[in-house]
Amino acid sequence: MKQFATITVIGRDRTGVVARVTSFLFGKKANIEALEEQVTRGQFSMTLQASWKKGQLDEAGVKSGLEELGRELGMEVGFKMFDPRRRQRMAIFVTKEPHCLETLLKEWKAGRLKTDPVLVLGNRPDLELVARRFRIPFFHVPWVERAEAEQKALKILEEHQVDFVVLARFMKILSPTFVWHYKNKIINIHPSLLPSFPGAQAYRQAYEAGVKVVGCTAHFVTMHLDEGPIIAQDCFKVRPGMSLAEITASGRELEARVLLKAVKLFLARRLDVYWGICHEV
């Protein structure tokens, strides 16, 4: 029976990083299951999945060795064990709109969402009572300085052994560094049929453009705003004379359903991302 871990490496680009990390892991009897790396504006990011045969993993030795390697490289190196057979641990990020959060937690409470929601994190305190109603811990992290807020959030996620993150109308932009800690494990809901109308005020953009169909998109988060691999979409027709408020209200109902569908597909391991495209398998 194999044991699995995810290793993340983030920092200023330099020669030989991939070789140093993989050579160290080979020396620790690891098998490289998957590896993805990229350099953007001099910033190096890598996510690597490794496995060990039963009895071959020296977890303490691997952790301490990676920490030492990180110091030598001047980079942040993370190590996280995971068991693909156990229930995934979910964190939900929110701001002030409750509809997506409530739908996810109601489905979980009813036994139809096969995950463990271990925390709700908000950049505002507005939805703490919703989390309390479902007996889920709530963490308020003000998002004044993004770097500081993200460090606090990452620490909370690590302490609670979170496997994936759902942005349930979380109205802050995550940095590339944060995203690489959870590569293809952050799911967002956007109120438009992407790639149309990215960014803020999507319903207003659609209304002012006079479109006849409005929808929403659940997608994996990447370092490029609202451009991540699309998981699920749905839409509704705009009736003649429909106001912006009516479009927004109909859109919110749809957002919750589409986000829930995307999370269920993710939990069922039916999503495969290849060359930036998400395929349902």
Which among 19, 35, 31, 32 has a CA at the least distance from the CA of 69? Answer: 19
Distance CA 102, CA 95 (A): 13
User: Token digits for 252?
Assistant: 């919110």
Distance CA 255, CA 232 (A): 10
CA distances from 137 to 16, 159, 236, 274 (A): 42, 13, 35, 35
Beta strands in 106-148 (DSSP E): 116-122, 138-140
User: Token digits for 276?
Assistant: 């930036």
Catalytic residue among 13, 58, 126, 226: 226
Distance CA 117, CA 100 (A): 14
110 DSSP 8-state letter: T
Position 195: which residue type?
A: P
Is 226 a known active-site residue?
yes
Q: How do beta strands 31-40 and 43-52 pair?
A: antiparallel
Which among 93, 206, 106 has a CA at the least distance from the CA of 156? Answer: 93
Distance CA 112, CA 105 (A): 10
Count of alpha carbons within 13 Å of 40, Cβ hemisphere only? 12
Q: What is the SS3 assignment for 26?
A: helix
Phi/psi at 43 (nearest 5 deg)? Answer: -100, 120
Q: Which residues are catalytic?
A: 226
